[in-house]
Structure 1
Amino acid sequence: MTRFTTPSSPRLLALLLLFSLSLIGCAIPPADAPAAPPQPELATGSNTKPGWTLRRQAVAAANPLAAEAGAAILRAGGSAVDAAVAVQMVLTLVEPQSSGIGGGAFLLHHDGRQVQAFDGRETAPAEAGGQLFMGADGKPMGFMEAVVGGRSVGVPGTVAMLSLAHRQHGKLPWAKLFEPAIALAENGFEVSPRLFGLLKAETALQTDPVATAYFFQPDGQPHPVGHRLKNPELAAVLRSIAIDGPNAFYRGAVAQAMVNKARQHPTNPGGLALGDLERYRPVERNALCHAYTPPDAKGKAPAKEWSLCGFPPPSSGALAIGQILGVLARTPGGAEPLGADGLPTPGYLHAYTEASRLAFADRALYLGDPDFVAPPAGRWTSLLDARYLDERAQLIGPAHMPQAPAGAPQGTVSAWAPMPEQPEYGTSHISIVDAFGNALAMTTTIESGFGSRLMVSTDPSRPGGFLLNNELTDFSFSPTDAQGRPVANRVEPGKRPRSSMAPTLVFDKASGQLLMSTGSPGGAFIIHYTAKTLLGVLQWGLTPQAAIDLPNFGSLGGPLVLEAERFPQATADALRERGHKVNGTALTSGLQAIVRGEVRGQPAWLGGADPRREGVVAGE
């Protein structure tokens, strides 16, 4: 059994102190630094999280009410999947900006024998085509111009996917799993500081009269922190799904209300149709698992080898993380320990950035829905082959690469055009382990904060409802490049957009024992947030909380972005000397993690939740 520093250790206390003290340092970008990529959700403050120790079972979720709902289901004899259903339904109510029944999700599940990947990603309506986000002038639409309204709405997949997973792994009746969310929706929940802060900064949501009446007061201000917000319309919708299953969502009054909302938008209507909802099916895919051996500080591989399991395409998360970690393990700078200040060193950040730029170049060229896009060399794992990673690592030198090229696994000749960089948003993450030996990692989304800004209601006399996703904006707005070559992630009817979501399960490769469940929201930066946490636990030996607390960093191919006020100026200066363009911004990850460890010689689950959001770990 792997030993980890316990939450009361001097090492962790020192790291938490450094976390606080580092707020006084700041990597200030120079006047000519490129802008940092826009982040999915605004920063609304930071609250120190203690880390959690649990003996039998644990639920890590983005809101205390959701985590407690999942823990209550576990205490009632439910499975990890049962708890995930309850958590998601509560998140639909209390964290509506990030996920909900109007969106999609990826669920990675382990039952003690096998890892399954349940794909509940949204699909493009039958009426959608490659020109969906191209304007009359032949140029791509502005991002928010595309987001707000029905044009961006994909067919929601979360409800159908959770139903499929529950049929295989549920222990409690489906209807019971909805009871916590229905009770909260009817009795009300207190508006949290984060929800208030995001509503305060929101402008597009007010274009929807249903959402305006629910979230805002008559004077246009959001309901204050602590206001008890009730959602009787969502309670009615959830009750119908609890009784009649997914059919209550994909057919009948709820389906018609979704279609009407998307197609009847006054300025930006979409093509969602009843047939799209009726035809939607979740997909069970093969999990993408690969071996990973972190280097030690001397650059030699330790004896311990892990198996990292993540989600296959249409997600790019597991492949990108696997490439980054695999290249780092072959690069001298990738073996550097944390510095004396408890932070990643400039040498490590250089190696990490170059490795991630290479991974993102492959991602832009190759990744898309596997039902529409063939993998390079005939299999996605060609991007993780040892020989290919060796070749990629050879491209990393002491200075910043002028350009990070896509690779050619086994001599692949690609006919695709690289997808231009564009914003990615939204999401929430759930990690759960139960007393039966099951575990899951589930990342769930409606894409942008508050999705398409469309709130669905079946009865105008009842306040509230649920928000529809804007997931189609995860497709490339431009279907081809200037030479006419197609983009793998272009819009096509029935296609699932590429994602960065990275729910991850980690196993001891020799014994097969589960070590860890983790993941994060954060748009394309999900890849970096999740990789950072894996590195913190697997390479640097930190507890999950200490790994999550580490400052965030990463590049999407442009500037290296460091979490604002978390790195000393000297770090930024050293990276600029290597040729990097460095910028700082708030990087609002929402990491959750549960890790197997020991406390005072007894087996335990160690839990961590991101101080940048409202998540907690609950259980027993």
Structure 2
Amino acid sequence: MAVWAGAAGLPARAQEAADAVVPEAATETGQQAISGMSAAAQEAKAAGVPVTAQDWMVAVANPYAAEAGARVLAAGGTAADAMVAVQAVLGLVEPQSSGLGGGAFLLWHDGESGETTTLDGREKAPLSAGPTLFLDQDGQPLKFFDAVVGGRSVGVPGTPALMQTAHARWGRSDWAGLFSDAIRLAEEGFIVSPRLAMLVAADAERLGRDPVARSYFLPDGHPVAEGQLLRNPEYAATLRTIAGQGARQVYVGRIAKAIVEKVQGAEGNPGRLSELDMSLYDVIERAPVCVPYRGHEVCGMGPPSSGGLTVGQILGLLSDFDLAEMGPESAEAWRLIGDASRLAFADRGRYMADSDFVPVPVKGLVEADYMARRAALLRRDTALSEVEPGEPEFDHALNWADDDAIELPSTSHISIVDSYGNALSMTTTIENAFGSRLMVAGFLLNNELTDFSFRSHRDGVPVANRVEPGKRPRSSMAPTIVLKDGEPALVVGSPGGSRIIGYVAKTIVAHIDWGMDVQQAVTLPHLVNRFGTYDVEEGSAAAALGEPLKALGFNVETRALNSGLHAIALGEDGLTGGADPRREGIAIGE
């Protein structure tokens, strides 16, 4: 059995301090329609109804990217092909959230074999990184943005390699042609969306520290404006190289050298990334984490993501409670959901990290008897006064301290179903909005290393998610495919930092337990509880639950909860897609 030690409350305080930064606020107005395809999708979203289709569907965070994916699918491409086109465009039009300088987790269900697998394209720490990476000269953790802005926070990017790997395994379309939309938009220009303009203006000081980022995002000293035509010829040149010579060109040669020079030469905060680190990067195929729920199988990403395990734990703890009878307006239902989440997050903070470096009790955390023991704690009338990690089965004893890593909500999610029965769920990120704020070859570099715990030990006890050479930092990204009788029934995921887990779990409950269609499920107001404080979405109907939740013993805070859920449901009548009204995404299908 596991032996555990550590100070309660530390992860909560660290994460809540990070949440106060709110780097990606909600966008109430969407981007203008690009064509008839996106106009129809935006009308459906505005009306609160799902988009319907019979053959294929793509749901992503920006109309330009949605249309690029739709064109690939309409021409007979697979979900993997469409993902490459979508990601290439997202890196241009939504650069604050994802791109070639970041990483991603991909879940794939194969329409022919019926198998579900995952690809780990998470960033890696440099080989020279160690436990003092984020400590100051006195051995104390750096302030968050002192660590983020510059080269210190940059890990080896995984997204380009993941794109190539997915295409090699499951693609049918010509690789080079998948970049044509992104290259054209980069050369001819795209219309700056309200969201991008708002975020650039809010982060102008940090973006202005790097001369390249400053010249692109702050031309003539002013932030790019909504409606402005913005060109990125350097990005187009990088994409042409990748299209013609493959994604390996990001990891060796001219582009890799430029990335390393940028990281190591970052003024005031240089990093340790080397050309050797770049050349050694690999995408890893991993088994999914699958948990039964209401006659379905909910499959997600395992370590180094905590998403699949923590979503699976939340649903597993809820499986013996009749949420359907309670309904979405029931404070009792949200008491159960909130405390199930707190219990799962306690385990997450203690046990979850890169399983290539530390033994993670993956099977033990979602084992039926263990979840039944944890669920028994929910059989009460009020909120849990205290929450501690459980003791899942290991094959040997371990002693871990609680992690205090923080995550900020700047990511994107892609859901795709193609005409061959394949389903793809991929969450993609550069971590904080605009990542490290370092720009090279037309794209921003990640700050993913700050997803590690800044401390390696606490009171002499090691932290599982500590920095180690070549290690991948823990993530909350939760790309999910829900299966029914072995076939995909729901493809879903979201950005949102560590709240991703709550957003995805809520959407699954809304769809399966409360019978909501996908647009209703992603639109449903958020209530998220990770560490004891119940976050209630401001300006929503969820505010009515604030006082009842307080009466049950919860601390309640009303705040913006900016998800970016994109979901596709599959059923006898075809496909239905939903896009989060809190962001600019749409679903397109045929």
Contact 1:146 1:473 in 2 (8 A): yes
State which of 304, 314, 319 in structure 2 corresponds to 1:324.
314
What residue is the counterpart of 1:55 in the other structure? 54
What residue is the counterpart of 1:296 in the other structure? none
The Cα of 1:568 is off from its aligned counterpart by 5.7
Letter matched to residue 494 of structure 1: G
The 3 A distance-change label for structure 1 pair 392 and 40 is farther
Separation in structure 1 between the aligned mates of residue 137 and residue 269 of structure 2, nearest angstrom: 14
The Cα of 1:51 is off from its aligned counterpart by 2.1
Secondary structure of the structure 2 residue equivalent to 1:595: strand
State which of 446, 471, 474 in structure 2 corresponds to 1:469.
446
The 3 A distance-change label for structure 1 pair 157 and 36 is closer
Contact 2:58 2:416 in 1 (8 A): yes
Letter matched to residue 37 of structure 1: D
Instruction: Give CA deviations for 1:440-460 in whole Å, capped at 9, x if unaligned.
Output: 000000000000000003xxx
Contact 2:405 2:451 in 1 (8 A): no
Separation in structure 2 between the aligned mates of residue 452 and residue 569 of structure 1, nearest angstrom: 35
**Structure 2 unaligned blocks of 5 or more:** 1-15, 31-45
What residue is the counterpart of 1:439 in the other structure? 423
Confirm or deny that 1:400 pairs with 2:383: yes
What residue is the counterpart of 2:434 in the other structure? 450
What residue is the counterpart of 1:614 in the other structure? 584
What residue is the counterpart of 1:313 in the other structure? 303
What residue is the counterpart of 2:399 in the other structure? 415
Letter matched to residue 229 of structure 1: L
Instruction: Give CA deviations for 1:132-183 in whole Å, capped at 9, x if unaligned.
Output: 1111122111111110000000000011111111111110111111111001
What residue is the counterpart of 1:88 in the other structure? 87
Secondary structure of the structure 1 residue equivalent to 2:462: coil
Secondary structure of the structure 2 residue equivalent to 1:527: helix
The 3 A distance-change label for structure 1 pair 569 and 447 is closer
Secondary structure of the structure 1 residue equivalent to 2:389: coil
State which of 341, 360, 365 in structure 2 corresponds to 1:356.
341
Contact 1:149 1:262 in 2 (8 A): yes
What residue is the counterpart of 1:373 in the other structure? 358
Contact 1:36 1:559 in 2 (8 A): no
TM-score, scaled relative to structure 1: 0.87
What residue is the counterpart of 1:168 in the other structure? 169
What residue is the counterpart of 2:127 in the other structure? 126
Count of residues paired in the alignment: 553
Separation in structure 1 between the aligned mates of residue 188 and residue 196 of structure 2, nearest angstrom: 18
The 3 A distance-change label for structure 1 pair 164 and 474 is same
What residue is the counterpart of 2:143 in the other structure? 142
Separation in structure 2 between the aligned mates of residue 255 and residue 81 of structure 1, nearest angstrom: 25
Confirm or deny that 1:43 pairs with 2:13: no
Separation in structure 1 between the aligned mates of residue 407 and residue 233 of structure 2, nearest angstrom: 34
Secondary structure of the structure 2 residue equivalent to 1:72: helix
Instruction: Give CA deviations for 1:547-567 in whole Å, capped at 9, x if unaligned.
Output: 001001112214110111214
Instruction: Give CA deviations for 1:472-527 in whole Å, capped at 9, x if unaligned.
Output: 00000111002x1110000001000000000001111xx31211111000000000
Alignment of 1:192-211 (within 5 A): 192-202=193-203, 203-211=205-213
Separation in structure 1 between the aligned mates of residue 544 and residue 290 of structure 2, nearest angstrom: 38
Contact 1:331 1:393 in 2 (8 A): no
Secondary structure of the structure 1 residue equivalent to 2:19: coil
What residue is the counterpart of 2:368 in the other structure? 386
Separation in structure 1 between the aligned mates of residue 121 and residue 151 of structure 2, nearest angstrom: 20
The 3 A distance-change label for structure 1 pair 568 and 229 is closer
The Cα of 1:324 is off from its aligned counterpart by 0.6
Secondary structure of the structure 2 residue equivalent to 1:109: strand
Contact 2:352 2:464 in 1 (8 A): yes
Separation in structure 2 between the aligned mates of residue 137 and residue 344 of structure 1, nearest angstrom: 50
Instruction: Give CA deviations for 1:24-52 in whole Å, capped at 9, x if unaligned.
Output: xxxxxxxxxx8793345112226635420
Deviation beyond 6 Å, 4+ runs, structure 1: none
Confirm or deny that 1:337 pairs with 2:326: yes
Contact 1:40 1:523 in 2 (8 A): no
Alignment of 1:518-557 (within 5 A): 518-557=492-531
Contact 1:166 1:174 in 2 (8 A): yes
Separation in structure 1 between the aligned mates of residue 260 and residue 69 of structure 2, nearest angstrom: 31
Letter matched to residue 240 of structure 2: R
Letter matched to residue 329 of structure 1: S
The 3 A distance-change label for structure 1 pair 35 and 480 is closer
TM-score, scaled relative to structure 2: 0.91
Coordinate RMSD, CA, aligned: 1.6
Contact 2:79 2:424 in 1 (8 A): yes
What residue is the counterpart of 2:462 in the other structure? 486
Separation in structure 2 between the aligned mates of residue 587 and residue 525 of structure 1, nearest angstrom: 9
What residue is the counterpart of 1:229 in the other structure? 230
Instruction: Give CA deviations for 1:354-389 in whole Å, capped at 9, x if unaligned.
Output: 11000000000000101001123xxx1211111111
Instruction: Give CA deviations for 1:108-150 in whole Å, capped at 9, x if unaligned.
Output: 1111221110110000001110111111122111111110000
Contact 1:40 1:424 in 2 (8 A): yes
What residue is the counterpart of 1:213 in the other structure? 215
Contact 1:424 1:474 in 2 (8 A): no
Letter matched to residue 609 of structure 1: A
Using the TM superposition, name which of 419-428 and 384-393 deviates more.
Answer: 419-428
Contact 1:199 1:222 in 2 (8 A): yes
Instruction: Give CA deviations for 1:533-591 in whole Å, capped at 9, x if unaligned.
Output: 11111111110000001001112214110111214655211111121110011001000
The 3 A distance-change label for structure 1 pair 327 and 40 is farther
What residue is the counterpart of 1:288 in the other structure? 289
